[in-house]
């Protein structure tokens, strides 16, 4: 057995030596090739770039590259650029996402004038690929689809995943349907029977955690994907890398593809003197439930055509039942002669309420406000963005607030050294998110059994202390309800019982890019994604599932730090053959901490702290 191990080790060392020798030969080959470029005298070329079909105007932010080299620059706010290029280079390549790439021969005057034309997004131009590299789409050997930020903000969405629904071929998006909830995205169908078919999200080169853990219950509370934290107002472009080939550099986490997001910066802004610009936007959406189950409105609550309410838990005639096999209902109140004891009082009209489920929900509203200030010059740029999102859910008591602050900037420290940094802070607060599935916190679960004669408007006064008449089992401080055997009052469940969650998150990166020579570039980048997630769920005393009340609390800390060092070589070997090679390494460090507490009963109602828990003797 030991000989076999030694043999495998020797073979492994042999493979390692061959691989090392190959890399060494490649480096020697690249370094040893005759390079007349480095020996050539450099010359300065200036130019002006314009855009517009009717009136020409300066075009800032255009990338100007020297063909066959890694030398590049950007046009300033007036559309001007200056670039130093080797004496044996004669062609400039100008690119801007959504515009036709232009190749321009540099005349003897070293001065060029270029007019750029807009084309359909994704047909031509550059895209951001793995590790944040920009490539011409037509040169890639794998499938990439790209979007500009404006395309995903036409219809404002709280979740960036929902914004991709129906706009990318081969991408399937399914939403949980819960306000602020999670959405599932699959690229080119499921590839694993394990159920983990989600792509990797990468923002400005930083891989992000997109988990969505739930809390308690059969269905639980849906707190939304972690990618919910990304503000659509700050997105410049999105590239969808389909399949493992495109995302190979990110490792096994990207085996289902990758969604690479580039956020906005101050580069190339249109502004006045000094390149200062400001934008502000407000969006508002309203929503109602699109589709609810179809209910019969012929028979009311009870069994065998019989029902009479006493206490809602078996004291009357079939009043413990929550199913509608009871007496036949009057279709309308007018002319109804059927009078039966109900939770609203004795001898009440036995009439159908066809809209009693729909009337529970309110008009959902979402308000997004964004303000951004940017400044750029020929050697630096910076952008500051503030966004506030307020969501009023369709379920009563459900509200979500999100505040995000984003700063991104960069500078050309020297002609060879470029730096870029970003910081994104998100503060998200949720109140009374509705449950999902067959869960007590899901109002739609109780509506599956809802008596068809129940008047939803009568249930809005859910507190027994505010109800004047005697209501059987309606205890002081308890809930006024149509059934005390299986269900809580839906408004009690939505407003008195509840849950709160709060998440702080910081995402940032620092990047240095050094142009070693005209064909070799070194990039060092550090990115970090950190967040704290606090969740609390509480049940009031005199609820069905907890007569003495209870609460549970959880807190998570999670972070991921990625450090990359990358060498990228692009060398024109001949006029028709170019060598493009990438060599690099990555160090990833993850940490996770979690704590929680469950209190099965409380002493004083309405106080959900550990100090309000009873002390039990050992």
Convert the pLDDT of each residue in 546-573 to its tens digit. Answer: 889 999 999 989 999 999 999 988 877 7
Q: Which residue has the higher pLDDT, 414 or 346?
A: 346
In the predicted structure, residue 350 carries a pLDDT above the cut 90: yes
Residue 114 token pair? 């270029």
Q: Residue 14: what pLDDT?
A: 44
**Mean pLDDT, the chain, integer:** 81
Q: Residue 87: what pLDDT?
A: 82
Convert the pLDDT of each residue in 594-610 to its tens digit. Answer: 999 999 999 998 899 99
For the segment 353-379, the average pLDDT, to the nearest whole number, is 90
Q: How far lies 405's CA from each of 271, 366, 370, 391, 509, in Å?
A: 22, 19, 10, 18, 15
Q: Which residue has the higher pLDDT, 259 or 242?
A: 259
Are 369 and 150 in contact by the 8 Å Cβ rule? The answer is: no
Q: Residue 190: what pLDDT?
A: 67
Q: Which residue has the higher pLDDT, 379 or 302?
A: 302
- Size of the chain in residues: 618
Measure the CA–CA gap between 214 and 211, rounded to whole angstroms. 10
In the predicted structure, residue 11 carries a pLDDT above the cut 60: no
Q: Which residue has the higher pLDDT, 470 or 107?
A: 107
Convert the pLDDT of each residue in 495-504 to its tens digit. Answer: 999 899 999 9
Are 281 and 234 in contact by the 8 Å Cβ rule? The answer is: no
> Up-side HSE of residue 37: CA atoms within 13 Å toward CB?
21
Q: Residue 361: what pLDDT?
A: 94
In the predicted structure, residue 98 carries a pLDDT above the cut 60: yes
Measure the CA–CA gap between 380 and 419, rounded to whole angstroms. 9
Task: With H, G, I as helix, E, B as strand and everything else as coil, classify residue 520.
Answer: strand
CB atoms within 10 A of CB 490: 25
Q: Which residue has the higher pLDDT, 561 or 232?
A: 561
Q: Residue 322: what pLDDT?
A: 92
Q: Which residue has the higher pLDDT, 249 or 558?
A: 558
In the predicted structure, residue 23 carries a pLDDT above the cut 50: no
Q: Residue 124: what pLDDT?
A: 46
> Up-side HSE of residue 142: CA atoms within 13 Å toward CB?
17
For the segment 454-472, the average pLDDT, to the nearest whole number, is 75
For the segment 300-311, the average pLDDT, to the nearest whole number, is 94
Measure the CA–CA gap between 251 and 220, rounded to whole angstroms. 32
Question: Which residue in this structure is represented by tokens 């493979």?
Answer: 15
For the segment 192-217, the average pLDDT, to the nearest whole number, is 72
Percentage of residues of the chain with pLDDT beyond 90: 39
Q: Residue 7: what pLDDT?
A: 38
């Amino acid at each position: 057995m030991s000989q076999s191990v030694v043999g495998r080790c020797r073979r492994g060392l042999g493979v390692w030596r061959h691989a090392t020798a190959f890399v060494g030969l490649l480096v020697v080959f690249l370094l040893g090739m005759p390079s007349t470029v480095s020996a050539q005298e450099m010359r300065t070329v200036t130019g002006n770039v314009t855009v517009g079909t009717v009136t020409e105007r300066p075009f800032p932010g255009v990338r100007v590259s020297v063909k066959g080299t890694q030398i590049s620059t950007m046009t300033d706010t007036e559309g001007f650029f200056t670039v130093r290029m080797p004496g044996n280079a004669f062609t400039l390549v100008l690119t801007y996402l959504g515009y036709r790439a232009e190749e321009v021969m540099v005349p003897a005057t070293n001065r060029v004038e270029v007019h750029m034309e807009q084309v359909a997004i994704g047909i031509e131009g550059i895209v951001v690929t793995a590790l944040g590299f920009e490539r011409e789409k037509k040169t890639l050997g794998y499938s990439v689809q790209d979007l500009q930020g404006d395309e995903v903000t036409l219809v404002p969405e709280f979740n960036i995943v929902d914004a991709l629904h129906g706009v990318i071929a081969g991408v399937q998006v399914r939403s949980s349907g819960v306000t602020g909830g999670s959405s599932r995205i699959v690229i080119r169908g499921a590839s694993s029977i394990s159920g983990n078919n989600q792509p990797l999200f990468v923002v400005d080169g930083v891989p992000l955690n997109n988990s969505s853990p739930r809390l308690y219950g059969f269905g639980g509370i849906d707190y939304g994907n972690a990618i919910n934290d990304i503000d659509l107002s700050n997105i410049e472009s999105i590239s969808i890398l389909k399949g493992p080939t495109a995302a190979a550099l990110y490792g096994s986490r990207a085996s289902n593809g990758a969604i690479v997001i580039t956020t906005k910066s101050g580069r190339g802004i249109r502004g006045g003197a000094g390149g200062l610009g400001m934008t502000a936007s407000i969006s508002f959406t309203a929503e109602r439930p699109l589709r609810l189950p179809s209910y019969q409105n012929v028979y009311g609550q009870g069994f065998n055509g019989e029902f009479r309410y006493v206490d809602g838990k078996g004291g009357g005639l079939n009043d413990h039942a929550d199913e509608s096999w009871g007496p036949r209902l009057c279709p309308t109140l007018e002319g109804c002669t059927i009078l039966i004891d109900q939770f609203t009082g004795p001898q009440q009209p036995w009439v159908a309420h066809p809209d009693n489920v729909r009337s529970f929900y309110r008009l959902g509203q979402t308000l997004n406000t964004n303000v951004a200030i940017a400044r750029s010059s020929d050697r630096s740029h910076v952008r500051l963005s503030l966004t506030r999102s307020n969501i009023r859910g369709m379920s009563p008591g459900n509200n979500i607030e999100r505040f995000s602050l984003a700063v991104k900037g960069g500078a050309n420290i020297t002609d060879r050294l470029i730096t870029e940094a970003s910081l994104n802070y998100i503060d998200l607060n949720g109140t009374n998110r509705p449950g999902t599935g067959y869960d007590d916190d899901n109002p739609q679960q109780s509506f599956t059994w809802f008596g068809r004669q129940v008047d939803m408007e009568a249930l809005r006064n859910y507190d027994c202390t505010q109800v004047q008449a005697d209501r059987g089992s309606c205890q002081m401080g308890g809930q006024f309800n149509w059934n005390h055997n299986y269900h809580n009052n839906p408004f009690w469940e939505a407003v008195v019982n509840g849950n709160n969650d709060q998440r702080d998150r910081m995402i940032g990166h620092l990047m240095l890019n050094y142009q070693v020579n005209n064909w070799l570039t070194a990039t060092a980048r550090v990115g970090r994604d950190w967040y704290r997630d606090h969740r609390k769920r509480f049940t009031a005393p005199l609820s069905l599932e907890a007569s003495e009340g209870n609460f549970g609390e959880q807190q998570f800390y999670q972070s991921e730090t990625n450090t990359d060092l990358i060498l990228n070589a692009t060398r024109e070997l001949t006029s028709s053959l170019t060598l493009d090679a990438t060599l690099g390494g990555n160090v990833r460090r993850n940490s996770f901490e979690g704590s929680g507490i469950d209190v099965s009963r409380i002493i004083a109602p309405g106080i959900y702290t550990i100090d309000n828990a009873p002390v039990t003797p050992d």
